[in-house]
Amino acid sequence: MAILYGQITTNKPVRIISSTGGSRIFKYVLMIDIEKNRPVILDRKVQKNRWKWHGTIVEFHLEGDYPKAMPRILEYLKLTAIVNPYANITFVDPRGRLYRFERKSEEVPPPPVETLPHPHGVDVETLQRIIRSTSCTNMLNFMKEHFHRVGEQTARQFLKFAGIDERLNPKRLRPNDLVDLVRAMKSFNEFLPPDANCLSPIGEDLMRTGILKELEPRFMAVSQRKPSAYSGHPFIVEVAIAYGGKVPTRNDITLYRFANKIPLMYDESGDVSWKILRSINWRRYGVSPGMPIAVLVHLCSTKIPYKTVGKELIADIPEISREILNGIREVARRLRRYLMRRKQVERQRRRLTIFSRYLPKIATFSAQLGGLKEMPDINKLYKRQMVFRDYETGNSYTDGEAFNAEPYKTILVMAKNKHESNSVILRVLGLTGSRWRVLIPEVTLEAGAEFYEMLTKKVRLVKIQVKSAARNKPGIFEAFIDGLSE
């Protein structure tokens, strides 16, 4: 679409360079024949690939109002970086400013696999195209070879249901017969559901990596729903929710929509995801207006049910709506547990702050009142240990001083990023037996942010690890670990 728009506005060709890393690099200069919808090759070159370069470069010219479109362009690139955290994205705008979205993962999701059409998703035009190209001479073989998950037994049952002779040559079907055949395919319920192996979803781990990289949330939850299908088209819904960090604060929840890893930027109010988002009672999940919360919805399918030719609105298909609703509810329940836990941790933090302030004074006064020469050891009851003090973070994790957690029932981790602009990433590990295990996974602290968390698992030792969120952009980190014996 962008190439076509560029040709319409500037009448200049597109230049494409591509290689899979083999022995050759292919270069094409071409334009598009709009009437026949096919390329017109103006120049073609093949060069030796001495350095085993691989990738694709597409260069084209277009007209546009960049000052007006700049916020949308940058947002599009940011959203693309979220769902493609394995890609390096570099953008130089017309003013010469450089924007770079760095890769954070070397893992790439498996590519989609070509598959046959499912009978429930076939229309008359598709059926005519298949018949023109088929070499089958009877309907039984035609059904088996050209349709997804149709075996001999299923094909015989369907042809009997449709009243079609198994020996009939498909090329002899008349236009009215084709219409009746398509109607029979859509109403026959014995076809197996489509297999979702042909899809290439983002995956929970990569989605979590992308959100952490671009939004740096205080909390996030990701859910990939089980594969489903509508009208013979398989699909997978992936949903995430992010709270805090760089998530924008608005009166409403921020919605980010994606279709086959492509951000949908416009006409949000008419989309099925927005309709579902508005139908949920968010107070039930502890969410109130003005909280920095974003919901991300990704639909992966062999056929996205767009409402319009602009491909920005997803239609309200019952099967898709159900999966989106259940996915949002699932991550919202995890957010509710987190918010409730935050309140509990905040109460515990205030309690331990009181202990740290007054317990040494009470112990000193009690020792003097009892005539003791030495103050009793209060560490058996309460201990605060500073594990990082004004530490400048690096590009890789650094271990803080280990805290002996065995004598204490309540362990509270408190941390703060004191830098004015750079973010840091921390995680908390616990020693059980002879192995260190992650107790609190990666949490991003933006500039000036604080972190409090109470540990629930009983461990021997606790330690905090910290690193810079962005390469060569250190933060100033401070952290305590409190232990209370009850």
Of all residues in the chain, the percent with pLDDT exceeding 90 is 50
Q: Which of 315, 338, 361 is the last residue of a domain?
A: 338
pTM: 0.76
Phi, psi at residue 62, to the nearest 5°? Answer: -150, 160
List, for residues 316-334, the tens digit of each pLDDT value. Answer: 999 999 999 999 999 999 9
Q: Does residue 430 sit in the same domain as residue 324?
A: no
> For residue 295, which of 314, 326, 274 has the smallest C-alpha distance?
274
Would the pLDDT of 394 be above 70? yes
List, for residues 82-114, the tens digit of each pLDDT value. Answer: 999 999 898 988 888 999 998 888 888 888 888
Q: Which of 187, 215, 237 is the last residue of a domain?
A: 187
Between CA 218 and CA 48 the distance in angstroms is: 49
List, for residues 412-459, the tens digit of each pLDDT value. Answer: 898 999 999 898 999 999 998 889 999 988 888 888 888 888 887 889
Q: Which of 187, 218, 239 is the last residue of a domain?
A: 187
Q: Does residue 295 sit in the same domain as residue 393?
A: no
**Between 363 and 60, the higher pLDDT residue:** 60
Q: Does residue 425 sit in the same domain as residue 461?
A: yes
Q: What is the mean pLDDT of residues 184-190?
A: 89
pLDDT at 383: 85
> For residue 241, which of 328, 342, 325, 343 has the smallest C-alpha distance?
328
Query: What string of DSSP letters covers 234-267?
Result: EEEEEEEEEESTTPPP-SS-EEEEEETTEEE-S-
Q: Does residue 235 sit in the same domain as residue 271?
A: yes
Q: Does residue 324 sit in the same domain as residue 276?
A: yes
Between CA 206 and CA 294 the distance in angstroms is: 17
pLDDT at 84: 94
The upper half-sphere exposure of residue 381, i.e. CA atoms within 13 Å in the direction of its Cβ, equals: 11
In a domain, 352, yes or no: no
Query: Is-contact 136 108, C-beta < 8 A?
Result: no
* Distances from the Cα of 314 to the Cα of 159, 259, 261, 300, angstroms: 34, 9, 14, 12
DSSP bridge pairs for 87: none
Would the pLDDT of 378 be above 80? no
Between CA 483 and CA 355 the distance in angstroms is: 11
Q: Does residue 449 sit in the same domain as residue 478?
A: yes
CATH number for the domain spanning 328: value is 3.30.230.10
pLDDT at 120: 86
Between CA 458 and CA 219 the distance in angstroms is: 23
List, for residues 331-358, the tens digit of each pLDDT value. Answer: 999 999 888 888 877 777 777 777 677 6
pLDDT at 4: 86
The answer to which of 3-7, 47-51, 340-344 has the lowest mean pLDDT is 340-344
In a domain, 273, yes or no: yes
Q: Does residue 226 sit in the same domain as residue 327?
A: yes
Q: Does residue 333 sit in the same domain as residue 212?
A: yes
> pLDDT band for position 377 (50/70/90)?
low
pLDDT at 486: 67
Would the pLDDT of 272 be above 70? yes
List, for residues 448-458, the tens digit of each pLDDT value. Answer: 888 888 887 88
pLDDT at 375: 66
Q: Does residue 153 sit in the same domain as residue 274?
A: no
Domain count, the chain: 4
Q: Does residue 176 sit in the same domain as residue 274?
A: no
DSSP letter, residue 469: S
Residue-range definition of the domain harbouring residue 461? 377-484
Q: Does residue 334 sit in the same domain as residue 423?
A: no
Computed over every residue of the chain, the mean pLDDT equals: 89
Q: Does residue 212 sit in the same domain as residue 333?
A: yes
pLDDT at 376: 65
